[in-house]
Every structure is written in structure tokens, then in C-alpha cells.
């Protein structure tokens, strides 16, 4: 199996060649599926996608407009804290080029009580293993969160047969792609 480093490099390069129009269309499709699946969730933790990641802004804005509480991560030292999403224009640049809310921070143990946790990924496999960017922030944040409530957000071609897995990697229960929400065995 391809190493994590090589697979990450290949996936990042593939994202860099994806047409801007395709990325924008993916954001609209992701929002349609997310709203259909999560509009009754009460609270959804997600993230503000940047660059060539599958766009999350349409999802965040539509969920918020429906009255769903949306939480976004804030990088604090080597971990993540969570704060309410109050609109894209309110986000501030954070470490690693991430966009994040500035205040108010919620208690550190808020994530296990959230109905859906949508996380970034470069790929996910059909067994529910997620390949992130390698910093471990989301893996650490997901400790104590049921894998069944965690959803990796990826493009359709990033759902792979297999990704490299290490002991610290947290599994996901679904993949949200532009073609739909796909349930996975919780790896």
C-alpha cells in the first residue's frame, strides 16, 4: 500500500488540477446532501474549507439559516476548541491558513454531545478510515466521539478502496461527497 506521505502528495496534486467551476459545483451539491441529512441535527460541528478543499461555506450557511447550531474549530496550541459559526464574514485567519471564529470558545468537552461532526479529509476508504493532512488535530479532537457521528467531507474520487491507517487514526461513519452521503463501516 502507498505510504501516507506519498498518497497525501498525490491527492493534494490532484486537487490542485481540479477546475474552479467543478469545486464550486461540488460545494452546492455537498450543501444539498448535508441539509437533507442534517437539518434536524440540532448542532453540527464542521470546518471552514479553504483552497482546493471541497467547499463547506454553502453547507455552513444553509444549516445556520435553518436554525442548526454550527460549530467550527479553533486551533489552540496542539488541539482544537470549538466556537459558534456566525457567518463567513466573521471568520478570522488562524494557524495553517485556516479560517476560524474568534469567540466565544465553548467547553473543551462539547464535541461528544454534537449530533454530526463533519471533518476535513484528503481521502476516506470504504472501511471508514480517514486520511487527513497529518497534523493529528482532528484525530485528537475526535477522541471520545462516536465514529458513527463523524463524517469525512471529500470529493467523489477521494473515496478509495484503502488508505494507510495507524493506531492513532480515528475512524468515520460516513463520507459526504458531491454525489451524496455514504454510510461506512466505522473503522
The CATH number covering residue 8 comes to 3.40.50.10420
Tell whether 169 is covered by a domain: yes
Using one digit for the tens of pLDDT, what is the confidence trace for 128-182? 999 998 788 898 999 889 999 999 999 999 999 999 988 888 899 999 999 999 9
CA–CA dist 160, 157 (Å, integer): 7
pLDDT the model gives residue 2? 67
Has residue 1 got a pLDDT over 80?
no
> How many distinct structural domains can be found in the chain?
1
Tell whether 26 is covered by a domain: yes
Tell whether 33 is covered by a domain: yes
Tell whether 104 is covered by a domain: yes
pLDDT the model gives residue 30? 98
- Mean pLDDT, residues 8-26: 96
Tell whether 44 is covered by a domain: yes
Full residue range of the structural domain in which residue 86 is found: 4-131+143-183
Query: For the sheet containing 180-183, what is the strand order?
Result: 79-84, 69-76, 43-45, 116-120, 150-153, 174-177, 180-183
pLDDT the model gives residue 186? 66
Q: What percent of the chain has pLDDT over 70?
A: 98
pTM over 0.75: yes
Instruction: Spell out a b/e string for 43-62, using b for 16 or more CB atoms within 10 Å of the CB, else e.
Output: bbbbbbbeeebbbbbbbbeb
pLDDT the model gives residue 164? 92
- Mean pLDDT, residues 43-67: 97
- Per DSSP, the three-state class of 109 is coil
pLDDT confidence tier of residue 185, bands split at 50, 70 and 90: confident
121 and 94 Cβ atoms separated by less than 8 Å: no
- Mean pLDDT, residues 35-51: 96
119 and 151 Cβ atoms separated by less than 8 Å: yes
**What would you report as the CA-atom Rg of the chain, rounded to the nearest whole angstrom?**
15
Peptide bond before 65: cis, by omega within 30 degrees of 0? no
- Mean pLDDT, residues 44-60: 97
Using one digit for the tens of pLDDT, what is the confidence trace for 103-116? 789 988 899 999 99
CA–CA dist 96, 73 (Å, integer): 13
Tell whether 98 is covered by a domain: yes
Tell whether 138 is covered by a domain: no
Tell whether 137 is covered by a domain: no
Amino acid at each position: 500500500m502507498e505510504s501516507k506521505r506519498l498518497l497525501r502528495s498525490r491527492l493534494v496534486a490532484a486537487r490542485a488540477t481540479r477546475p474552479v467551476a467543478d469545486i464550486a459545483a461540488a460545494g452546492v451539491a455537498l450543501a444539498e446532501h448535508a441539509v437533507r441529512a442534517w437539518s434536524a441535527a440540532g448542532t453540527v460541528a464542521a470546518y471552514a474549507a479553504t483552497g482546493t478543499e471541497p467547499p463547506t461555506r454553502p453547507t455552513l450557511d444553509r444549516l445556520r439559516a435553518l436554525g442548526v447550531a454550527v460549530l467550527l474549530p479553533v486551533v489552540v496550541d496542539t488541539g482544537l476548541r470549538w466556537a459558534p459559526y456566525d457567518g463567513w464574514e466573521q471568520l478570522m485567519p488562524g494557524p495553517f491558513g485556516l479560517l476560524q471564529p474568534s469567540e466565544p470558545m465553548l467547553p473543551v468537552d462539547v464535541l461528544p454531545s454534537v449530533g454530526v461532526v463533519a471533518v476535513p479529509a484528503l481521502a476516506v476508504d470504504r472501511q471508514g478510515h480517514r486520511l487527513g493532512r497529518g497534523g493529528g488535530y482532528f484525530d485528537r479532537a475526535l477522541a471520545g466521539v462516536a465514529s458513527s457521528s463523524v463524517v469525512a467531507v471529500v470529493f467523489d474520487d477521494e473515496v478509495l478502496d484503502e488508505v494507510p491507517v495507524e493506531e492513532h487514526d480515528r475512524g468515520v461513519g460516513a463520507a459526504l461527497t458531491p454525489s451524496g452521503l455514504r454510510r461506512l463501516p466505522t473503522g
